[in-house]
Chain A
């Protein structure tokens, strides 16, 4: 079974500052994918970034980067130059193989609030 832990129920950041959202995971599978999704108040799930377990370099997508530390089983999301539109709920997600192939396991989520 897979498990994702997000220990920050809520985070606050000043506009234009950087913020790190924490995520640790647990899986016995060697091959897996890690994702971050953003969910604004409208409810849609917006894909932000993906990291494969065999990727040696940290993933980056514009202002988003994933700090992947495989030995520590952590996959923190870093948002640089925060914008007011970044205020939303953020989910760390794992998609592992084995008997759970294809099933996404979500963390509890972190509500990010960006202050002007």
Chain B
């Protein structure tokens, strides 16, 4: 149980285009999901907290208009990187908290590697 999927696993896009990344909890409901960004050999940095049915909460320094987050259902959150540039190339990972589970535990998706050319 407690599986989180992400789609796509890899994406290459041209500079100036937008890319949507999906995060799904497959066997549990997640009122809260989190989006992280990771550069090579570095730690995960929390970008935003996605709450079902309400606006996402962004961490300081993260551009809300560039990284659009939509949490439309209890099992799906999407991250859209708008007008992507090469500096947005990174590994994006989502996690989801089981609404009915351990309040401290989160389950991670497999990640999406974004390359902007």
Q: Which of B42, B97, B104, B110 contacts A43 (CB 8 A)?
A: B110
Interface size class of B (residues with CB under 8 A): 20 to 34
How many chain A residues touch the partner (CB < 8 A)? 23
Q: Which of A32, A33, A50, A111 contacts B41 (CB 8 A)?
A: A111
| Residue contact A106 to B44, C-beta cutoff 8 Å | yes
Q: Which of B46, B105, B108 contacts A44 (CB 8 A)?
A: B108
| Residue contact A104 to B46, C-beta cutoff 8 Å | yes
Complex interface bits, B41-55 against A, C-beta within 8 A gives 1, otherwise 0: 111111001000000
Contacts of A52 in B (CB 8 A): 104
What CA separation (Å) do A89 and B110 show in the bound complex?
Answer: 15
The verdict on B67 contacting chain A, using a C-beta distance below 8 Å, is no
Complex interface bits, A32-61 against B, C-beta within 8 A gives 1, otherwise 0: 110101000011110100101000000000
What CA separation (Å) do A106 and B106 show in the bound complex?
Answer: 13
CB-based closest 9 A-B pairs: A33-B104, A45-B108, A43-B111, A95-B104, A106-B43, A44-B110, A106-B44, A108-B43, A109-B43
